[in-house]
Chains A and B, each alone.
Chain A
């Protein structure tokens, strides 16, 4: 394969090759025994045997990393589809976004010359060091699971250091102040105006602390020189404008403004790897179901659309999507470790937008949500089991919005 990068298994160090073989065996065993999807265990075993496995498995490949608070899984899927124009792509579909998930995904496709990896924000610096990415994509940064992930400003600083070391292209959202600050010190940044960003965590400048001021779409710090960079790519309502000024219709199957933002970020990243814009857009248009998200299930005379939202910024966008029609809504809230155990964030979500609609509060923490809905003056009932909540709605379309573990459990039960 002349001129094509690749991680030829024959060229892997002996230790990595053995670690990968044992890891792959563990994945298959885990699947066979019904212990899990095998998305992480294989990588965990391989990393234990060879701590350098990630560096060895990415060596020789052209790697793109995708991180940010929201839209990682969708953007990763879009980007991997777009990059498939160039050749085989190894990718971690399904949100196993820590190093063990990366090693598992790369081990399964040792010959793929390209890798597109979704990366948890907390692990991003470590993965950048190991993978030396050709492209790093930073979507957005906002508050998420404060008791687990930590403060947004801490994350921004660690991403800033990691991105400054990237010799490849950094694709960053210039409508997000935290993202701009994190990406600005990198040598080679492609700025994308996505039209989306959560401003509530960025009233003060992440660099100097002074107030940020907005004038239309432009923003700037009143104390230092941090300001919205001029974008090369622009997201419009249903289209993008490429750096050469050409307008391309998106016509996505996925709903919402934030998926348009994900699509333009993915297209800009694919272009940085050499994919023609039209070819990229054509491929990501086809994405309709991302690890169960956005799919519709038929149940007891209902067509229930399953939507995942994990934090205030995500919920805010999803409530905009469900606003397009007046369907009844089932809202499902859990508070496990992976969700964040502190549910204070429910008060940052503008549930007031659901006034006048039929709403059921569901999930293990349905009551916390019910109190929030009470004060939002949204009429509701409580049905803790989400499937029974769907059944309790009048026949027809139902929007189901769930947070992380609630979505995962519902998706698994709906598949049975």
Chain B
């Protein structure tokens, strides 16, 4: 698939698209095309092979069954893992963070092997974490607050090779203390909203990784207004 456009793979939207995850791909595409960087979304559906030539892979959230099926499919068609080995950019949301790790253990105590892309393990927590999340950047990776909506039962423990994305101020995240994971150019988060419409600085970070250049400014007043509103709703001033 040789093209001069930045290709954004929307991975298994028909299995892992439960929480508007299409939005993350749209935000990446528009933030590039509006700045004159040609970009396109490539839908990779269940039953189809996964290409290894894309520049950014976006993996969303899904129900338990869908998650198991997705792992099976991504193992049978390891295009994304091959792309990761050559440094492609990957965003994993919710189920994404769980299936990218070494393993995930469900509420029924059955442990499933993950894709081994990040140094983490996940297990089912006692209660479902549902609600607004506010977190501050870890390791100076991005600016401003991270905001989103979480809805998950999984808890994630990071190993030494993975760094947290942020420190939780409001909400649960991985474990009540840190949120998400970063390892190389793989970025994971539990946050929906979806996460990139709410956090343009994270979208631009992924674009920078993919294109090798920091993208220019892009002022979207509605996005700024939304970030202020959601932070206020969570009791935090931005």
Cβ-neighbour of A375 out of B15, B23, B46, B149 (below 8 A): B23
Given contacts A342-B149, A367-B222, A375-B197, whether A153 and B19 have CB atoms under 8 Å apart is: no
Chain B residues, Cβ within 8 Å of A201: 18
Which residues of chain A (179-210) have a CB below 8 Å from chain B? 200-201, 203-204, 209
Tell me the dominant secondary structure on chain A's binding face. Answer: helix
Number of chain A interface residues as a range: 20 to 34
Given contacts A343-B149, A347-B20, A347-B22, whether A204 and B222 have CB atoms under 8 Å apart is: no
Given contacts A147-B130, A371-B222, whether A153 and B45 have CB atoms under 8 Å apart is: no
Q: Verify B63–A151 contact, CB threshold 8 A.
A: yes
Q: Verify A367–B20 contact, CB threshold 8 A.
A: no
Of all chain A residues, which has the CB nearest B60?
A344
Given contacts A375-B30, A375-B197, whether A153 and B17 have CB atoms under 8 Å apart is: no
Of all chain B residues, which has the CB nearest A209?
B69
Cβ of B102 within 8 Å of any chain A Cβ, yes or no, is no
Q: Verify A347–B47 contact, CB threshold 8 A.
A: no
Q: Verify B220–A374 contact, CB threshold 8 A.
A: yes
| A203 to B17 Cα, complex, angstroms | 11
Chain B residue total in the interface (Cβ 8 A): 37
Distance (whole angstroms) from the CB of A373 to the closest CB of chain B: 8
| A373 to B221 Cα, complex, angstroms | 12
Of all chain B residues, which has the CB nearest A346?
B20
Distance (whole angstroms) from the CB of A362 to the closest CB of chain B: 14
Distance (whole angstroms) from the CB of A18 to the closest CB of chain B: 40
Cβ of A152 within 8 Å of any chain B Cβ, yes or no, is yes
Q: Chain A interface: which of B110-118, B136-144, B223-231? A: B223-231
A-B contact pairs, 15 of them (CB 8 A): A143-B18, A146-B18, A153-B63, A203-B15, A204-B15, A213-B47, A344-B149, A344-B194, A348-B17, A367-B226, A371-B198, A371-B220, A371-B226, A375-B27, A382-B222
Known: A154-B63, A344-B23, A372-B23. 18 other contacts (CB 8 A): A143-B18, A146-B18, A152-B63, A153-B63, A200-B13, A204-B66, A209-B69, A343-B149, A343-B193, A344-B19, A344-B194, A346-B23, A348-B17, A348-B20, A367-B225, A373-B222, A375-B23, A375-B27
